[in-house]
Amino acid sequence: MASRLYRTNAVFAAEVDKVDELLVDEAGYSIREIILDDSQTYEFENSQVAIFVIQIALAATLRAHGAEPSAVIGHSMGEVAAAYVAGGLNLEDAVRIIYARSRLLAEGQDGLGAASQGAMALVEYTPDEVKTLTDQFPNVEPCVYAAPTHTTVGGPRAEIEALVEKAEAAGKMARLLDVKGAGHTAAVDVLLGELAAELAGIEPSKLTAGVYSSVDREAHYRVGHAAIHGVDYWTKGMRHPVWFTQAVNVAVGDGHTTFVELAPNPVALMSVAATAWAAGLADATLIPTLKRKEDEADTFLAALAQLYVHGHALELATLFESGPYAAIPRTAYLRKEFWLNSQVSSSGNSRVPGARVALPDGRHVWEVQASAVSGFDALVTAAASQVFSDVALGASVSHASVPAAGTVVTTLTSHLGGASVQVHAHEGSAFTLLHEAVVTSGDVRPEPVVAVEERSSSPMEELPEVVETFGDRWDPNGNQKLEDRLAIIVAESMGYAPEDLPPEVPLIELGLDSLSAVRIKNRVEYEFDIPTVQLQAVRDANLREVEKYLRYAIENRDEVQALADKQAAEKAAEQAAESGATARDAALETAVAAPETAVPSAEYQPAPVVAAQTDLGGKEAFAEAAGSDVPPRDNAERMTFATWAVVTKESAKGIFNTLPILDDETAEKLAARLTERAGGEITFDDVLDSETIEQLADKVRPHLEDGEIDGVVRNLRARPEGSTATPVFAFHSAGSSTVAYEPLLRKLPAGTPMYGLERVEGPIAKRAAEYVPLIKAIQPEGPYVFVGWSLGGILAYEVARQMEEEGIEVAYVGLLDTVMPGTKIPDTKDEVRKRWERYAAFAKKTYNVDYPIPYDKLVDSDDEGQIRIITDLVKLSGAKIPGGIIEHQRTSWLDNRAIQTAELKEYGGHVTLYLADKYHDDAIALEPAYATREEHGGWGPVVKDLEIVYVGGDHLAVVDEPYIGKIAAHLSKTLENIESARTGA
């Protein structure tokens, strides 16, 4: 507790030493020794004294950097340090008071037998509600008015326990506190006389800072006020309730908006937040100075930074020792054109080694833009690595340099032990030999194995064959390795290229969220044909560890099936006991699992699968609010993050985390690898000048922007040269990206372009209006084809409806299980409260976040305001929730509310609803209205031409095998009919 800050901050250490010297004289022991010796255990008395010493030292350190309080608020024992900081006490008297107070309370507790011990509890009752309970619980007293709707009560243990049971039965939050006594109640009456005697002779002083008292109800003593901290103040403060929420309310009313808590760990800021919200201050600045289990020096500096950016006076020069001026780098301008370029994108020939074609005679050919080639050796190695493992470059000879324009063609001819490679310049119809090389290698990399798909037995018209690559059953006797297939599944579900997925980095650090976790689970269960095992994934599992689970499941199918049956039975029993009210952590379920004793691995702890701007508008803001590492967000950041891990053998943890300084050799390797992967030069200086993954990715991104994503348009498949096929526009689902449509895309005809429309903010109609001009820029005229899963279906429908109003032809709208709630969701304050109670239970179970929820504030806020309030709570809770999860939960919440509140309008065009059997369990647990669904999914009353195709499975499974195969076959036939009608063929 503050030991690291003592060792690293001279001002803090000097103040601790100063107070400790007085304490040794007063109490006979050194609190400094206890602070610095982690082996010593805190007891009631010395823990309060230690907190006091730390509070005094924190105040002195803040002042040393120019921070001065305009007022103070004390909380129970915190009144002593507050009095000293406000000038109301000298340090000697403050030490006397805290020692006497803590010693007497400790002796009082130790002197009680088990039968006489009191208890305290935090309950969700207002002060007025606590008063009404006195008839039923006559010996229970309010101890701390913590927040407008929460009060700490104390009294005999039996009555406190009964009160907690009563509150819980009424659906209110109630929690017993881990104490043996009942402070601020009649239990301390016997100590007041001795406390007064101990404090005789103290000399309180005139105030030099304002005091909002929690001893004198709603009292504000201004600067210059006569002394208030006499003996009576301290006896009253030990016996009477703590008027904390009242003190904060008065401070907010006086215009205070920034509150800094001086403590080893924030405990009062949550109450400050709740009180501020109730008083109408939704954006109070709440700053902890230290946090448990976090670097104390960094946390204190962060507190100073927050004070500074919110306009409070600080002397920044005190943070640094004198030294020479730094050489400030010049601004590096990123030049980028902003015209939409999706429709003219090439098909992969803008990065090394280029677009690959396997020829019937066994050769492999690549073509790449000459401007992307940095050197022949890198080109040859990159090409050979796509065919062989463990490539080594042998003899080589160059006949000419890399041309400045045109394209470069690489031809690989296999032979025993490796291959020969020729590189030609291609200009017009002429080819010029540039370079020849020999490579040696390990095994040939396996091509994807396509198994014969079993026909569904469900009634459905005969559908045309579709293009198939991955997504079919894995053949254990084939030539594709288990780990290769698993890597493809995980990479595609998370938006990575398989070669960029570092196997040793925990998936949660790579951005694993609840949706991608469930998609991995569904695909692995289907493609590897293993039993469904409902076992929570572990927080630190990486690809290699998941591979161990999978291999065990395949080799021990009977045992794993028995485990699956057992878990299914346990789940059914749990649901019966809880009447279906609890939600399982589907976001945490791994795709494969085995008994913990079966596979040797690191110690795993179950955890949620899957947050610094005040407006919480982006992922980094939400991750900061949660004190978390932000995972990569786009292709450039994913590639950079993964390449860093592969080259340095260490994870960067988050894209905003400061990177360690690399040695020259490693930096050169990283630059070379990024150059190879990005298809453009990343220099040694680029690597060393980047302090974070985000900054380094900014240098990579321009080389990747070949049309794959432009603004909110993702180029899922570029239009092949010469193709006139009607493109498919796919709209993002709730809380996810259009990468989810990759399995569908792979099964559509090869010449079909697909463009993804990613998330924008706002109501459904506003979002759709933003998409319409982007779609027209890519495809100026109809017929248009739109598909959408979940929220994407509503977006696709609304875009089609708006185009219909403009007289534009929309040939097809496909809804992938976009189903409205089966029963109407009430729009009432009571329903808002119930909704957040369900989410609070989910947060407690999943994230171990268990703090009072300001329901009264939530019911008066809109959906955006509600999620902002909850994020502020996460900020104060100290919960370590990865930024990817925070952002996924935020967007999922808002997008699902958009589904629930969508006002569907009539549409005259054709709509196909691909209908699953049901929603997934989590969705139903969080919103019971999803438990039932109408046979038309809620679309019957508004769609004149509605076609329903039953695909089976649950809502999360429809975008993966085997269900996506049915959807793709139907859509392929639809596209064929559209093309025939358009071309007259």
Give CATH for domain 348-440. 3.10.129.10
Q: Is pLDDT at 90 greater than 80 in this prediction?
A: yes
Burial of residue 360 (CB within 10 Å: 0-12, 13-18, 19+) is exposed
Q: What is the mean pLDDT of residues 848-870?
A: 75
- pLDDT given for residue 465 in this prediction: 35
The answer to which of 441-450, 452-461, 716-725 has the lowest mean pLDDT is 452-461
Q: Which amino acid is at 787?
A: V
CB count, 10 Å around CB of 124? 20
The answer to which of 85-89, 672-676, 701-705 has the lowest mean pLDDT is 701-705
Fold of 3-110+189-314: Malonyl-Coenzyme A Acyl Carrier Protein; domain 2 (3.40.366)
pLDDT in tens, 217-246: 999 999 999 999 999 999 999 999 999 999
Higher pLDDT, residue 771 or 479: 771
Q: Per CATH, is 482-588 categorized as 1.10.1200?
A: yes
- pLDDT given for residue 635 in this prediction: 63
Q: What tokens appear for 402 in the block?
A: 């890399």
Q: Distance between CA atoms of 645 and 907, rounded to whole angstroms? A: 50
- pLDDT given for residue 612 in this prediction: 30
Label residue 877 by pLDDT band (50, 70, 90). low
Cis peptide before 962 (omega within 30 of 0): yes
- pLDDT given for residue 938 in this prediction: 92
Residues 6+ apart with CB under 8 A from 230: 202, 204
Which residue from 20, 263, 247 is spatially nearest to 146, judged by alpha carbons?
247
- pLDDT given for residue 584 in this prediction: 36
Average pLDDT, the chain: 80
Fold of 118-179: Alpha-Beta Plaits (3.30.70)
Label residue 608 by pLDDT band (50, 70, 90). very low
pLDDT in tens, 283-336: 889 999 998 878 899 999 999 999 998 888 888 888 887 778 777 777 766 665
Rounded to two decimals, what is the model's pTM? Answer: 0.45
CA dihedral 364, 369, 374, 378 (to 10 degrees): -10
Q: Is pLDDT at 52 greater than 80 in this prediction?
A: yes
The answer to which of 474-478, 515-519, 615-619, 973-977 has the lowest mean pLDDT is 615-619
Residue whose token pair is 């967007």: 891
Q: Can you give the three-state secondary structure of 623-685, one letter per residue?
A: HHHCCCCCCCCCHHHHHHHHHHHHHHCCCCCCCCCCCCCCCHHHHHHHHHHHHHHHCCCCCHH
Helix axes 44-64, 91-110, angle to 10 degrees: 160
Q: Distance between CA atoms of 608 and 845, rounded to whole angstroms? A: 9
Q: Distance between CA atoms of 439 and 392, rounded to whole angstroms? A: 6
Give CATH for domain 709-822+903-983. 3.40.50.1820
Higher pLDDT, residue 626 or 706: 706
Q: Is pLDDT at 865 greater than 50 in this prediction?
A: yes
pLDDT in tens, 247-260: 999 999 999 999 99
- pLDDT given for residue 444 in this prediction: 57
Q: Is pLDDT at 451 greater than 60 in this prediction?
A: no
Q: What tokens appear for 294 in the block?
A: 């976090």
pLDDT in tens, 651-662: 787 787 888 888
pLDDT in tens, 389-432: 778 888 888 889 988 888 899 999 887 778 899 999 988 778 89
Cα-only R_g, the chain: 33
Q: Is pLDDT at 131 greater than 50 in this prediction?
A: yes
Annotated domain spans of the chain = 3-110+189-314, 118-179, 348-440, 482-588, 709-822+903-983, 829-900
β 418-427/407-415 pair status = antiparallel
Q: Distance between CA atoms of 141 and 186, rounded to whole angstroms? A: 8
* Complete DSSP assignment for 539-568: TT-BHHHHHHHHHHHHHTHHHHHHHHHHHH
Entry field: residues in the chain: 985
Residues 6+ apart with CB under 8 A from 741: 716, 730, 754, 756, 787, 789, 959
Contact 693, 644 (CB under 8 A): yes
Report the share of the chain in percent with pLDDT over 90. Answer: 31
Q: Is pLDDT at 127 greater than 60 in this prediction?
A: yes
Label residue 887 by pLDDT band (50, 70, 90). low
Label residue 592 by pLDDT band (50, 70, 90). very low
